Structure 1
Amino acid sequence: MANISETYIENRERIQPNDTNNYGSAHGGNIMRWMDEIGAMSAMRHAGETCVTAYVNNLDFKRPIPRGDTCVISGYVYETGRTSLRVRLQAFHEAPRTGEREQTTDSYFVFVAVDEAGTPAPVPELTVESERCENLRDAALAGEGGD
């Protein structure tokens, strides 16, 4: 059994010219792909199985990330079902020289654990063992409904 903190993953992508749209900012499809990849890794860390995307809820793009800046993606499992895992994913614009951050995107993905045959596989119970785990879970549950 993993706890919420053990599923927390953060990754950075530098926004290159091939990652941008006609307006010189990160293409939304790229941000979604990066979020999906981090979400799957977080889910797999808990499930111990391959995890596939089943559902995307409330993918809200609030601000652009300009070319040359950094996109930080963070994600963690906050709830599990029998074979499913709910993962909160956020993207941030980060200035590469100062490290200043501003949230740009927020979403909730559902992944399903699958075995080698591609059949849904049971996942272990998720534990909440610290104040940080509680805070992460509570923040995800509070924001899941959207605005």
Structure 2
Amino acid sequence: MTSVPLEETYIENRVFVQPNDTNNNGTAHGGNVVKWMDEAGAMSAMRFARQTVVTARIDGVDFHRPIPRGDTALIESYVYRAGTTSVTVHIRVFSEDPLSGERQLTTESHFIYVAIGAADDPVPVPDLDVDSERARELRDAAVDDDTDRSRDE
């Protein structure tokens, strides 16, 4: 099986936070944020696995600050670890002011996806190629975040 460069799995998605996306405080509802994270994470995982994937686990979600209505939710995701049939995706969300472009980290997590075949059974995934400097930087940032999360538990 071939390997896939980590950079090929990098996805950025944006959602303009509308009134229907918000809670009583006028900020993005946490459930919507997790949904947006899951969608971007699945896109990264599918780009890597070249297969359909399903969400197997969410390793907690850290909400650092809210995303106000009218801001853009910028969702960043990429695969940083590959198993036999599963991949782990690092996902971060930023609140982005649509006028200035100013960003603040709001949410982060690690989602695990399993690649499935036509019979909905797990199928093998490729190896992850982290040979470039950018790939190593991204992987190291995700691993550092994963380590920090473990210490907090």
Question: How many corresponding residue pairs?
Answer: 147
Shift of 1:116: 1.1
Q: CA deviation at 1:66?
A: 0.5
Determine the C-alpha separation between the residues in 1 that align with 2:132 and 2:82.
18
Alignment match, 2:17? 15
Residues 1:90 and 2:74 are matched in the alignment:
no
Match of 1:35? Answer: 37
User: Aligned AA for 1:5?
Assistant: E
Q: Distance in 2 between matches of 1:41 and 1:121?
A: 17
Q: Residue 27 of structure 2 aligns with which residue?
A: 25
Task: Tell me, in whole angstroms, the C-alpha distance in 2 between the residues paired with 1:61 and 1:115.
Answer: 34
**How far off its partner does 1:9 sit?**
0.2
Letter in 2 for 1:79: R
Shift of 1:129: 2.1
SS in 1 for 2:59: strand
Taking only the aligned residue pairs, the percentage that are identical comes to 56
How many angstroms apart in 1 are the aligned matches of 2:21 and 2:8?
A: 30
With 137-146 and 82-91 compared, the bigger mean Cα shift is at 137-146
The residue number in structure 2 matching 1:107 is: 109
Q: Given the alignment of the two structures, is residue 73 of structure 1 paired with residue 75 of structure 2, yes or no?
A: yes
User: 1:58: Cα distance to partner?
Assistant: 2.6
Q: Decide which of 123, 134, 137 is 1:135's aligned counterpart.
A: 137
Instruction: Name the counterpart of 1:59.
Output: 61
**Could you list the per-position Cα deviations for residues 58-79 of structure 1 after superposition, in whole angstroms to 9, with x for gaps in the alignment?**
3000000000110000000001
| Uncovered stretches (5+) of structure 1, i.e. residues with no partner | none
